[in-house]
Structure 1
Amino acid sequence: MATSAGRMSGNRVSTVLGRKLGGELHKLRVEVGKTQQEAAVALSATPTKVVKMESGWVPMRDPDIKSLCELYAVDAEILGQLLELARKDRERRKVKGWWDDSQTIATQVEYISTEDAALSVRQWQMALVPGLFQTPEYTRSLGVADLAWDEIDRIEDVVATRAKRQARLHDDNPLRIHAVIWEAALRQLMGGPQVMSRQLAHLCELAELPNIRIQVLPFRAGAHPSIGGPFTILSFGEDGAVDVVHMETARSIIWFENAAESADFAILFDRAAGVSLSPYDSVRFIASVSKEMRD
């Protein structure tokens, strides 16, 4: 588990593949009973460098990987796999995305860059319409209520950032999204009845896209395993990249990044989807709530 502070260090950013590579090196070190100090000696470096490498904060040089693998008595096949993973990670780090501009809020950069690398997203939302589905008016209403968005310009930056993210829903290789939304998020009057009615109508329009699947978990479903809080599961196409899970609270951003944890959240998501309305019935339900607000 890592907070957002643990994933960023100055201008160094922890990437999906970098964390995978670092996790593999950490596992190999532990398996042979070596300490970070011993690994640092093999690199003629400080333990701090080993910590950064194992956390995926820095791109890794092939000579460093080879030195560590020699210390850990790693065979040639595994060494080759690690070197290939490092190569792919270095290539991805060179790509500058639109989210790197100064208008993107710093706490969003890591999530947005991770989302951009993803092929598909599964999202469970309890109180809000997912950001990729929000209308500008809905987002602005959130900004007015959020004490952290204390300036009009900052609210508009968030609106612009979400619009850029949403462009992926319609490009040549669109992001695939399966969203399960609790009924409460549909009935909370963000911005008033007109804003919410338009937002719900927009959800119905998005549900017609082949890459988007929307389900509503109604109040009548009762207790369910995912009631503890919202989360997002991001899946990738690169070899060696496991699904990662993102959770955001009022005070922290949490990532779960190993196969076992990802599998646990996948089960939670599937169970929530299993007790939700079908996509067809969900659209009918959303449309009925929208009509109630217009009336």
Structure 2
Amino acid sequence: MANQQMPVMRRRRIGLTLRKLREQEGYTLDQVAQKMECSPSKISRIETGHSSVNMRDVRDLLEIYGVTGQTAKDVMDMARDARRYEKERSWWHPYSNVLVSAYVGNENAASRIRTYEHQIIPGLLQTPDYALALFKAANPSADPEENSERLRVRMGRQSLITRTDDPIRFEVVLDEAAISRPVGGDKVMREQLKWLCATASMPNVVIQMLPFEAGAHAAMEGTFAILDFPESDGTSLVYAENATGGLFLDKERELQLYLEIFDRIQTAALSEKESLERIALLAEEPTWKRKWVPTRDTTST
């Protein structure tokens, strides 16, 4: 597990160090990008650990920030080590053609994940049939082999919560809509709900349902995940999801905002016991099986 975490964690540590050095000198991303003759997004990717570490880039950044002596040597050593570990391929590397973001690498390095989902069951808790139904709905024309690769990645990710050696802590707040929509049809969704009940018994997994009766709540704007890392010098990350993959946020005020949002929706949600009872009930008496009878319009003539 440590070897799987190392490339991501080392890139993040270097990125954090370089960002602190930039901020100490009062440079903006645009100013540094202009000096480096590159895009601001490239500097941002380096600072957030989402790009492989290039020794020349690190050396040029240190020169721009006026960093010399032992500090420069330490940063260069960190970059050199990261490049060495970068050569170790993680289990998901062969499937990079079907991954749309750096989320899987960061997820694999996390020790704790807190997430809110408002439309679907989180990937770490999905059954194969449920996941496949999602892929087909999102892209009906996708090649079957591409869907198979996506499914292998999704199922492989689930070892994070099921492994016996130091599984991650996974805390989920699920909007009732996510467990009321029959993705894949009646049978697939019933099995998915039963699987949720089974995973809820794991000591490292916490599932809470945010019921419709809770009304408006703090996370109405959408899905997000808070990733905490075991390294003492690594900060947490927020991943705010969107149609193109998502956005990573790691500034202190952003982290604090999402931590407050998660605390508030956890408080508004049903307890673990109540959530499990409600999900088990829905597996037996699904919302989508209830008949809707229109009210007769007595005002018409």
Q: TM-score, normalised by structure 1?
A: 0.80
1:68 aligns with one of 62, 75, 79: 62
CA 65–165 in structure 1, closer or farther in 2 if over 3 Å, else same: same
CA 75–131 in structure 1, closer or farther in 2 if over 3 Å, else same: same
For 2:211, the equivalent position in structure 1 comes to 218
Letter in 1 for 2:179: L
For 2:128, the equivalent position in structure 1 comes to 136
Q: How does 1:262-281 map to 2 (within 5 A)?
A: 262-281=255-274
Letter in 2 for 1:48: C
Q: How does 1:114-133 map to 2 (within 5 A)?
A: 114-133=106-125
State how far apart, in whole Å, the 1-side matches of 2:30 and 2:264 are.
44
State how far apart, in whole Å, the 1-side matches of 2:159 and 2:226 are.
20
Shift, 1:98, TM fit: 1.3
Q: Equivalent residue of 1:48, what SS? A: coil
Comparing 94-103 and 114-123, the one that deviates more: 94-103
For 2:142, the equivalent position in structure 1 comes to 150
1:166 matches 2:158: yes
State how far apart, in whole Å, the 1-side matches of 2:231 and 2:85 are.
11
Shift, 1:271, TM fit: 0.7
Shift, 1:26, TM fit: 3.6
Shift, 1:173, TM fit: 1.5
Q: Equivalent residue of 1:227, what SS? A: coil
State how far apart, in whole Å, the 1-side matches of 2:29 and 2:117 are.
40
Comparing 156-165 and 250-259, the one that deviates more: 250-259
Shift, 1:69, TM fit: 7.2
For 1:177, the equivalent position in structure 2 comes to 170
RMSD: 3.4
Letter in 1 for 2:62: L
For 2:45, the equivalent position in structure 1 comes to 55
User: Contact 1:149–1:155 at 8 Å: present in 2 too?
Assistant: no
User: Contact 2:118–2:222 at 8 Å: present in 1 too?
Assistant: yes
State how far apart, in whole Å, the 2-side matches of 1:185 and 1:71 are.
48
State how far apart, in whole Å, the 2-side matches of 1:67 and 1:290 are.
56
State how far apart, in whole Å, the 1-side matches of 2:192 and 2:57 are.
53
For 1:194, the equivalent position in structure 2 comes to 187
State how far apart, in whole Å, the 2-side matches of 1:177 and 1:98 are.
21
User: Contact 1:53–1:60 at 8 Å: present in 2 too?
Assistant: no
Gaps of 5+ in 2: 1-6, 290-301
Higher Rg of the two aligned structures: 2
State how far apart, in whole Å, the 2-side matches of 1:196 and 1:285 are.
15
Runs of 4+ displaced beyond 3 Å: 14-17, 33-40, 45-55, 60-67, 69-76, 78-92
Q: Equivalent residue of 2:142, what SS? A: coil
For 1:98, the equivalent position in structure 2 comes to 91
State how far apart, in whole Å, the 1-side matches of 2:196 and 2:24 are.
49
User: Contact 1:23–1:54 at 8 Å: present in 2 too?
Assistant: no
User: Contact 1:183–1:216 at 8 Å: present in 2 too?
Assistant: yes
Comparing 180-189 and 237-246, the one that deviates more: 237-246
Shift, 1:71, TM fit: 4.9
User: Contact 1:137–1:191 at 8 Å: present in 2 too?
Assistant: yes
1:230 matches 2:220: no
CA offsets 1:121-177 (integer angstroms, 9 cap, x no match): 111000000011001111121122112762222222222111111122221111210
CA 244–92 in structure 1, closer or farther in 2 if over 3 Å, else same: farther
Letter in 1 for 2:110: A
Comparing 285-294 and 126-135, the one that deviates more: 285-294
Shift, 1:74, TM fit: 7.5
Letter in 2 for 1:255: F
1:29 aligns with one of 22, 34, 41: 22
Q: How does 1:225-264 map to 2 (within 5 A)?
A: 225-264=218-257
CA 137–37 in structure 1, closer or farther in 2 if over 3 Å, else same: closer
Q: How many residues align?
A: 277
Letter in 2 for 1:228: E
Aligned-pair identity in percent equals 29
CA offsets 1:35-79 (integer angstroms, 9 cap, x no match): 889979xxxx94439974663134254995598279546896x66
CA 54–81 in structure 1, closer or farther in 2 if over 3 Å, else same: farther
User: Contact 1:126–1:230 at 8 Å: present in 2 too?
Assistant: yes
Q: TM-score, normalised by structure 2?
A: 0.78
State how far apart, in whole Å, the 1-side matches of 2:119 and 2:29 are.
43
